Amino acid sequence: MRCRHAGAFLGWCTPVLLAGLMAGGCSKQPDAAAPPKRLTHEETLQWVAEHHAWRLARKSKPMWVRPIAAGEVGREFHTADNATEIARDGYWLCVGIVGEPWFQKPERVGSRYDKGAEEVKQFGFDPEPRTYTVYRPRGDALNWAARVEGPGIEGFSIRPAYDRATSLYSPAGGYVVRDHVPDPYHGSPDDVWLVQEAIFESTYELLP
């Protein structure tokens, strides 16, 4: 009797177990990991704030500076961020130690750098040698810098104040930089810029 009842029980259980296994086999599988993301300007600044990523930094290397010549206004310059910036009247052309060009207002240069000697140089974008002035960063001119890198981040973009319509891109590991303020997390910065990882590490130093 027990065998007959056991057989009946097993005969009843088998379809139930099979149905359960089949149902389990058809259950929804976990979603694949989301692909790495490229952060927008706004997302980058939000990430920096949420991760408290700002660190005190100071520029440590000189730059070469000259006024934009009249015939250069409107000319395209290719930056270290693989972007194109247009030369504008009233700005100075600044060149870093790896020959990367960017633009700044004369008053900004004067407030953060000490003027040095003049040198005749010809960078890759110069059709002929030009007279540049060497400017060295002042020791008391500080910045805030944030390295943007983490799980799920492929890279990020920043819109510089010089040209809000242009987005500069860096792979993960690059830096967002801003002027020094007492609290970098208070409010949204009006002027931030992007520095590629290799250039930052060769021209800036992070402070304790």
Task: Give the model confidence (pLDDT) of 75-132 as tens digits.
Answer: 999 998 888 999 999 999 999 999 999 999 999 999 999 999 999 999 999 999 999 9
Does residue 141 form part of some domain? yes
Does residue 199 form part of some domain? yes
Q: Is the Cβ–Cβ distance between 189 and 183 less than 8 Å?
A: no
Structural domains in the chain (count):
1
For residues 108 and 195, what is the distance between their CA atoms, to the nearest angstrom? Answer: 18
Does residue 4 form part of some domain? no
Q: What pLDDT does residue 32 have?
A: 58
For residues 137 and 58, what is the distance between their CA atoms, to the nearest angstrom? Answer: 8
Does residue 11 form part of some domain? no
From the list 187, 166, 159, 181, the residue with the least C-alpha distance to 56 is: 181
Does residue 153 form part of some domain? yes
Does residue 21 form part of some domain? no
pLDDT digits (tens, 9 = 90+) for 30-61: 455 778 999 999 999 999 999 999 999 999 99
- Which structural domain, as residue segments, surrounds residue 147? 37-206
Does residue 24 form part of some domain? no
From the list 61, 51, 206, the residue with the least C-alpha distance to 144 is: 206
Residue the block writes with tokens 């960078």: 123
Does residue 16 form part of some domain? no
Rounded to two decimals, what is the model's pTM? 0.80
